[in-house]
Structures are given as structure tokens and as C-alpha cells.
Chain A
Amino acid sequence: QVQLQESGPGLVKPSQTLSLTCTVSGGSISSGGLFWSWVRQHPGKGLEFIGYIFHSGSSFYNPSLRGRVTISVDTSENQFSLKLTSVTAADTAVYYCARVRRVDYDDYGSLYYFDYWGQGTLVTVSS
């Protein structure tokens, strides 16, 4: 059974960098057709896609966060990480890591869906 677990500080000061790691167990992060993503949820709000990465290192980000966000992967540790720079109170949220599976179709574009999620970790930005 695939499991994902987020880890990292629960409190970050404004203007500093938020850093989280997701450890994957029960499966290889290098498997084909799989991507590794971060999603966040502001208190009482909906889900926001942050970005995802392939094991090769190719990454894609939400344009609203581009320039502040970096997702990296460590295949030797079966982990991937999120860094978000210059944080403000608006970055306070529950951060989820999730596995994304790609499904290819002949008649439509490829589908990417989130098939496994971590439990989420609350990160508060406050001095």
C-alpha cells in the first residue's frame, strides 16, 4: 500500500522559506507514469494545486506561485520536497503531498489524477 507522509516545520516566520518533505513508502518514486505533487488548502477554503514533478526532475507549477516555488525530487531517499520562498500570512495553509497518475487516451488529452494523498500538515506563517 502506497503511503505518503509530509514532514517539516509547522511554523515559519514571514519572509522566510517554507520547506516540506514528502516521504513515499510502498512504491518507487521512479515508477513511470507517476508524478509527485503538492496541493494546499487555506483554512476553510478549497484545494489549490501548487505543482508537480516527475522523477527525472521535470516540474510544473501553478503560475500564481511561479517564481516562489520549487519542487525537487530525491530518488535515492524516495522523497520529494517543496520550497516556497518569501512567505506571508497568505501562505498559511494545510499542505498535502500527493501522487499523480497519468492515464493516456486515444481521443482526449492525457488525464492526470491524484490517487494517493498524505494526511496533510498545517503550516502557519507568523512572527
Chain B
Amino acid sequence: SSELTQDPAVSVALGQTVRITCQGDSLRNYYASWYQQRPGQAPICVIYGENNRPSGIPDRFSGSRSGNTASLTITGAQADDEADYYCNSRDSSGNHPLRFGGGTKLTVL
């Protein structure tokens, strides 16, 4: 499938570790990027490529990839991390240069 599939919702206890996943055939050939979007705000990139964090992103955010799955891990989740998270990658079919996953709503309990 050329789509990127994410779990709609994930929850984590404050201070614990959570993994948000993104599945898609294109991820076998292309790295993903990850975006955090808080309510009413524009998205911001938190991870791109193998495991790169833009300036200003806390090191509790990390990325990984295995087969057709990309993962965003938050180690020691904070209340401030409660947001929607989207993955993005290129499309292997060549017809859709970039594609977003459906998004995962992260709740910090």
C-alpha cells in the first residue's frame, strides 16, 4: 500500500516512554519525518531522517526505522508532549511525491 498508517490514539503515563508508529511500503525505501501539532498551532518537525532532531527539539524525542515501519519514541513523556503526531514520507509509486500519515493523538496521563 502507498498509504502511511498510524494508530489514531495512544496514551502514556507522565514520565514514561511511548512509541508512535507509522507503517507503509514506501518506508522500506525512504526515511520518514515526524511532526508535532498542538491544538490551534501549526505543525513543527520533531524528527527527520534516521534520527535527526531540529534545533530546539528536546532529546527525549528519537526516531527509528525497521522494515516498513518508522517509529517516534518519546522517553520520559511530559505533559507538554500531549499533541497530534504525524509522519510523512515520499511515496514509492511516484505519483504522490509526499504523503502524511493519518496522525496519532497522544494523551499524557
Contact = CB atoms under 8 A, between A and B. Distances in A.
Interface of A: 37, 39, 46-49, 52, 60, 62-63, 96, 100, 103, 105, 108-115, 117-120
Contacts of A63: 95-96
Would you call the interface of chain A mostly helix, strand, loop, or mixed? Answer: strand
Interface stretch (B10-18, B30-38, B73-81): B30-38
A60 to B, nearest CB: 4
Given A49-B98, A52-B97, A113 B103 contact: no
Interface string B82-108: 001010101000011111111100000
B100 A46 contact: yes
B68 interface: no
Contacts of A114: 33, 35, 43, 45, 88
Given A109-B90, A114-B43, A118-B42, A47 B30 contact: no
A81 B1 CA distance: 31
